[in-house]
Structure 1
Amino acid sequence: MAEISSTSLYSSSRQRRVLTRVQQLPSFTASRLRYQTMWALRRASIPLRNRGFNLRASCVKLARTTSVEQHSAIPESLGVTNDGNLLPNVCYHSGFTSLNFTVSRRELSSSSINENDDLEDGFSELEEPSADGNENASLSSSEESDSDSDSEDVDEPFNEINEQAQNKGRHGRVESELAQEIMNAPGLSIYLVLDKWVDEGKELNRQEISLAMFILRQCKMYGRALQLSEWLESKKQLDFIERDYASRVDLIAKVRGLQKAEVYIESVPKSSRGEIIYRTLLANCVNQNDIKKAEEIFNKMKDLGFSVSVFACNQLLYLYKRQDKKKIADVLLLMENENIKPSPRTYEILIDVKGQSRDIDGMDQIVERMKAGGIEPDIHVQAVLVRHYIAAELQDKAETLLKEMEGEDLNQNRWMYRILLPLYANLGKVDDVRRIWKVCETKARLQDCLAAIEAWGKLNKVDEAEEVFEQMLKRWKLSSKTGSALLKVYADNKMLMKGKDLIRRMADSGCRIGPWTWDAIVKLYVQAGEVEKADLILHKATQQSPMKPIFSTYLTILEQYAKRGDVHNSEKIFLRMKQADFSSRGKMYQVLMQAYINAKLPAYGIRDRMKADNIFPNRNLLNQLVLVDGFRKNPISELFD
């Protein structure tokens, strides 16, 4: 079975030479291919000589290629056999492979390479509590994330919500007296509240506990949920089973960090130390963008004898989509080798990857193969397709699919409002946004209102966004989540004074300010041209709160300093990002080097820094490295050598 390794990308002399002899590297072609392989390759739209293959007739071994054009290659369209199994339509690999294995194959297929190195990974950060060992790090973190998570939610059978509670959650408000008592508990500890609950003889069965835990998670009050779990075990109020231990692992990872969660697993009874616990830890590694730890846990699951599941593979695909697209091919080949059928989530990830690379034809091919495998694209896949059609300026295709998603009667699919509103706004369809909002206005839920505010903001209709906001406050209390939605509208429209007034209003209402509100405030000041003020606000926020800002907040400030050519402040923000435990990414180095380029200064030692952080440069980074290399020779300097 394959092993995923975090071996340094600079471990060989050949790889080091890639950085210094970029223009002289040869492009390798395939050799000794079987007739079946050649037949499949002829169908590709790009000639074979333009690719970087390393194949053998009877076996395939993924290997690095020295072709510069392949450094940030996007995997080819996913191939699916008639029985739904994966075919690795990626017969090349860029950079250093993370799967050290050989696969015997009789048939291979490939399609055209359509990559775009100018496109960087999109980052969809989760609101993460501090991982510095502070167990109370997220006690005040009830500010919900309103972003779309890039990472698949952990399969949570450990959230043993009874069927009645689930139905309430779908069709109405879920209420729990125990959860309410915990949320209203003063101070940092909830133990006194729980002791009082028992002393008063109130019921504390698994159903009540599960419901309370569910609500605390929904409110992002992970610290208090963790205290509830610890109290239950210490007071022996609940006979723990595997899903209860998995829930604890998940909460520890969110509140205290991955290392503490891994240590806790060792204390779990062996009889309860099953696959679900390690899957939970793996998902948290992905949520925290820790490639090294995620690969380590993936391999540990294999060593423990757990079969490789589509869930685990999807987790790695989510992670690599954000941080290291060249490794996606490895996971697909592993899935094919292990006979793992792709799930709808698998297709959704690959469609999104193709869309990010602007390979619309490849994206549509994946959809066709998805349908051929008996899986119809759901509403989430369709939404991804619409977004990429819009980005590619294929307005007609996007509008046609939107109408198909909408159906004939919106009243039968009320949950569709929050999906359709922003998408129509992306298309610039003011009338359609107004039409849909009129349908759902009188019965709108909180998420529908937030989607409407977002949609009006995209259309620069500030008055309409404010009107929805005020309507919303008549039904729900002002919160950091609702306030942040309108703050983003003000930021996009450079309305600093209105933004300041809203911030004061939120403070007067007692809103808990967290990472997503910080992000909105920072962008508000940046859009108004007050970068230093945004920097100062973020610095004060991180000093006053144990919560961790999201990646994009730092990146917004870093990009502004880089545009100015302000190397000093760019390096300062870069350092603070690393101190905040954000693993170094190519995007961070790309923006930092742009600061040096704009300042017309050499960046001495930047190659060594990238090497230390295991950053393998794509075409953009390689071009930037040439520009900031302080030892680069030009024709004039060579005359004096």
Structure 2
Amino acid sequence: MCRNQSYILGTFRACCAKSEVTSRSIEDNAAFVEPQKVRFNTSLSSKRCYVMTRDSPMPCRGLQFFSTQAGTESSEEEDDNLEAGFSKRQTPVSAGATQDSKGEAGNDDEFSELEISEDEINDDVEGPQNEMELSDTEPEVGREKSRERRGSNQLFRIIVTAPGLSVHNSLEKWVEEGNELTRPDILLAMLFLRRRRMYGRALQLSEYVESTKKVEFLERDYASRIDLIAKVRGIHKAENYIEKIPKSFRGEVVYRTLLANCVLANNVKKSEQVFNKMKDLEFPITCFACNQLLLLYKRVDKKKIADVLLLMEKEKVKPSLFTYRILIDTKGQSNDIAGMEQIVETMKAEGIEPDLATQALLAKHYVLGGLKEKAEPVLKQMEGGNGKENRWACRSVLPLYATLGKADEVERLWNICKPNPRIDECIAAIEAWGKLNNVEEAEAVFDKMVKTWKKLSSKHYTAMLKVYANHKMLAKGKDLVKQIGESGCRIGPLTWDALVKLYVEAGEVEKADSILQKAAQQNQIKPMFSSFMTIMEQYARRGDVHNAEKMFHRMRQAGYQARIRPFQCLIQTYLNAKVPAYGMRERLIADNVFPNKALAAQLASADAFRKTAVSELLD
């Protein structure tokens, strides 16, 4: 294993050598390990190697469920989408996730899907999308019993219908009426609340259960509470709550939950502090924690990925499938196809075969790299030869064939699914036909979906709304929005994102801005990163500094930490407006953002005090 890990490290250093990320100075107060010297473009100036950390808390047999794995978004839009799959789905696993023989949480990969539309926010799901999801997160409730609870969870309805901040009062009244508050009921209610991103109400439920001592809190219940506090009140409040937890319950799960939320917030400094705190407390260095580091550095500093791999080698931490997937994606983003393939071979040598998500990731990077001849065999392997053997792969393969422009393959696979389609296959087909600019076929699939399932969530309507947005069909998009409203669906971040794009593509940027602001204020739910960026990029093109700065500020208010892409957009606004960007370097330093080559070039162009050949003559 160590030999193969050394090979992974060696392979990955080559990738780092290709990276355009500039090296950053090492801060004196950072913790470090001192293994052998690591080389990227050049050797590090010190033997010290950062080993700091990054989207998800972990399986929790307690009251709460973690629905997000630390992620969301590297440098470009492509990475943003993939992060959604990685990071936002690698957070603390659901309560009751299984543990392996070493006590590790169940597979990271269960919660890391490949680009399921920024994806996977499941902002309004009626419940688990399948029986397996429910059983994975609810070990104490049998499958048959789960089906009953799924439709008759009174506790969940009490919480959802309670006015504002009065969940405590509603629960108290419910208990006084003779209802029993049991752990299985709490588990299921918490699951549904998290799936709807109702973190505030989920936090009130947790507070009520702890304060009334209706159920004995376990370490994972405290960890779940940390996760909710971080999401609702911020990292600082979550950190303070840890001090109130009994020492006997302040274990690794509690801290890794905090770590995952720090990573999810892109808070590099705090993530590193938490990781080092875990080391100081002598918790074992786990693959989960290292994967968080990899996810973080994949976005903010790819050079440090090699440091994490070196740490894993030193501590004999065996990479998981999810680890390999992060490395494959990073290689693909650097357009290092040979290196990506070497990672796959190393993974296979370790006895880990690529799963569907990994194969889809490989196919996507082949397509983006213009290697269609390599992408097609992977897609054929995914579908198992005729599309019927691996029917479940259709949802991933359909959009990829569309990206290749293979309308005949999309039609072939859809005809296999069409007689008895699954809802996720319908969504994939809508996306595929949309990519192929065949709006009529996309509408036909959507109509079939509406007729087949009486009650859809806004997520399903949003698939069609995105097609209209991409094709600048504002009138049809508005009609669909009305249809969503009439259906009684709760509209969440996915739908807002599609609406924003719909109006932006139609040239109504101010309307898109207004929609996003009202949606966030009325629902008190965090909009998606891409929603802010879609609007901000339009202001940048106009050179509208005032509104671009306003959007930048609103992103920070929503909880998105500073990162390269928003700064690039903001500086481009100043360049297009032909006005100097005073203090921009200081703002980057204050936010711990280290520029890559592209951002450094922008900074130089926007520097009001830069020297030119003419200015030097005049001086």
TM-score of the pair, normalised by structure 2:
0.79
The one-letter code matched in structure 2 to 1:95 is R
Aligned with residue 314 of structure 1, among 291, 294, 307: 291
Aligned-partner Cα distance in 2 for 1:200–1:100: 55
Aligned with residue 382 of structure 2, among 401, 405, 424: 405
**Residue aligned with 1:81, SS:** helix
Shift of 1:470: 2.3
Q: How many pairs align?
A: 539
**Residue aligned with 2:401, SS:** helix
Which position in structure 2 is the counterpart of 1:185? Answer: 161
Distance 1:293 1:355, change over 3 A: same
Shift of 1:289: 1.9
Tell me the alpha carbon deviations over residues 124-149 of structure 1, each in whole angstroms, 9 at most, x when there is no partner: 669xxxxxxxxxxxxxxxxxx99534
Which position in structure 1 is the counterpart of 2:25? Answer: 96
Tell me the alpha carbon deviations over residues 479-509 of structure 1, each in whole angstroms, 9 at most, x when there is no partner: 3222222211111000011111112222233
Asked if the contact 1:165/1:174 (under 8 Å) is kept, the reply is no
- Residue 440 in 1 paired to residue 377 in 2? no
Aligned with residue 480 of structure 2, among 490, 494, 502: 502
Aligned-partner Cα distance in 1 for 2:42–2:609: 38
The one-letter code matched in structure 2 to 1:94 is S
Aligned-partner Cα distance in 2 for 1:243–1:261: 14
Which position in structure 1 is the counterpart of 2:75? Answer: 120
Aligned with residue 406 of structure 2, among 429, 438, 446: 429
Distance 1:613 1:203, change over 3 A: closer
Aligned-partner Cα distance in 2 for 1:525–1:342: 44
Shift of 1:625: 2.0
Which position in structure 2 is the counterpart of 1:532? Answer: 510
Aligned-partner Cα distance in 2 for 1:148–1:513: 21
The one-letter code matched in structure 1 to 2:91 is V
- Residue 607 in 1 paired to residue 536 in 2? no
Which position in structure 2 is the counterpart of 1:69? Answer: none
**Residue aligned with 1:148, SS:** helix
Aligned-partner Cα distance in 2 for 1:345–1:372: 16
Distance 1:291 1:251, change over 3 A: same
**Residue aligned with 2:24, SS:** coil
Aligned-partner Cα distance in 2 for 1:105–1:149: 30
Which position in structure 1 is the counterpart of 2:263? Answer: 286
Distance 1:455 1:168, change over 3 A: farther
- Residue 547 in 1 paired to residue 525 in 2? yes
Distance 1:225 1:444, change over 3 A: farther
Asked if the contact 2:571/2:606 (under 8 Å) is kept, the reply is yes
Asked if the contact 2:382/2:390 (under 8 Å) is kept, the reply is no
Which position in structure 2 is the counterpart of 1:449? Answer: 426
Asked if the contact 1:487/1:499 (under 8 Å) is kept, the reply is yes
**Residue aligned with 2:231, SS:** helix
Which position in structure 2 is the counterpart of 1:228? Answer: 205
User: What is the CA RMSD across the aligned residues, in angstroms?
Assistant: 3.2
Tell me the alpha carbon deviations over residues 155-181 of structure 1, each in whole angstroms, 9 at most, x when there is no partner: 436347444757579999944523553
- Residue 380 in 1 paired to residue 357 in 2? yes
Aligned with residue 301 of structure 1, among 270, 273, 278: 278
Which position in structure 2 is the counterpart of 1:41? Answer: none
Asked if the contact 2:95/2:138 (under 8 Å) is kept, the reply is no
Q: Could you tell which deviates more after superposition, 449-458 or 306-315?
A: 449-458
Shift of 1:205: 3.0
Which position in structure 1 is the counterpart of 2:609? Answer: 631
Aligned-partner Cα distance in 2 for 1:492–1:386: 23
- Residue 333 in 1 paired to residue 310 in 2? yes
**Residue aligned with 1:320, SS:** helix
Aligned-partner Cα distance in 2 for 1:557–1:584: 17
Q: Aligned runs of 1:157-168 on 2, under 5 Å?
A: 158-159=95-96, 161-163=137-139, 165=141
Which position in structure 2 is the counterpart of 1:394? Answer: 371
Aligned-partner Cα distance in 2 for 1:561–1:378: 41
Aligned-partner Cα distance in 1 for 2:139–2:587: 53
Asked if the contact 1:390/1:426 (under 8 Å) is kept, the reply is yes
Aligned-partner Cα distance in 2 for 1:430–1:165: 45
Aligned with residue 351 of structure 1, among 314, 320, 328: 328
Aligned-partner Cα distance in 2 for 1:294–1:406: 40
**Residue aligned with 2:604, SS:** helix
Aligned-partner Cα distance in 2 for 1:521–1:169: 39
Distance 1:539 1:280, change over 3 A: same
Aligned-partner Cα distance in 2 for 1:566–1:513: 30
Asked if the contact 1:121/1:322 (under 8 Å) is kept, the reply is no
Aligned-partner Cα distance in 2 for 1:202–1:186: 16
Which position in structure 2 is the counterpart of 1:582? Answer: 560
Asked if the contact 2:513/2:535 (under 8 Å) is kept, the reply is yes
Aligned-partner Cα distance in 2 for 1:558–1:435: 40
Distance 1:427 1:210, change over 3 A: same
The one-letter code matched in structure 1 to 2:3 is T
Aligned-partner Cα distance in 1 for 2:560–2:315: 33
**Residue aligned with 2:547, SS:** helix
Asked if the contact 2:564/2:595 (under 8 Å) is kept, the reply is yes
Which position in structure 2 is the counterpart of 1:81? Answer: 3
The one-letter code matched in structure 2 to 1:496 is L
Aligned with residue 560 of structure 1, among 538, 551, 555: 538
Asked if the contact 1:151/1:318 (under 8 Å) is kept, the reply is no
Asked if the contact 1:124/1:150 (under 8 Å) is kept, the reply is no
Asked if the contact 1:159/1:210 (under 8 Å) is kept, the reply is no
Aligned-partner Cα distance in 2 for 1:603–1:237: 57
Which position in structure 2 is the counterpart of 1:243? Answer: 220
Which position in structure 1 is the counterpart of 2:342? Answer: 365
Which position in structure 2 is the counterpart of 1:154? Answer: 91
Aligned-partner Cα distance in 2 for 1:553–1:560: 12
Asked if the contact 1:523/1:534 (under 8 Å) is kept, the reply is yes
Which position in structure 1 is the counterpart of 2:253? Answer: 276
Distance 1:120 1:246, change over 3 A: closer
Distance 1:335 1:275, change over 3 A: same
Aligned-partner Cα distance in 2 for 1:539–1:342: 42
Aligned-partner Cα distance in 2 for 1:255–1:418: 33
Q: Which structure has the greater CA radius of gyration?
A: 1
More helix by share: 2
Shift of 1:405: 0.9
Q: Could you tell which deviates more after superposition, 360-369 or 258-267?
A: 258-267
Q: Aligned runs of 1:481-520 on 2, under 5 Å?
A: 481-520=459-498
**Residue aligned with 1:488, SS:** helix
Distance 1:639 1:181, change over 3 A: closer
TM-score of the pair, normalised by structure 1:
0.77
Tell me the alpha carbon deviations over residues 439-462 of structure 1, each in whole angstroms, 9 at most, x when there is no partner: 223433332222222222111221
Shift of 1:351: 0.6
Distance 1:405 1:169, change over 3 A: farther
Asked if the contact 1:85/1:342 (under 8 Å) is kept, the reply is no
**Residue aligned with 2:418, SS:** helix
Shift of 1:401: 0.3
Aligned-partner Cα distance in 2 for 1:443–1:191: 45
User: Sequence identity of aligned pairs in percent?
Assistant: 54
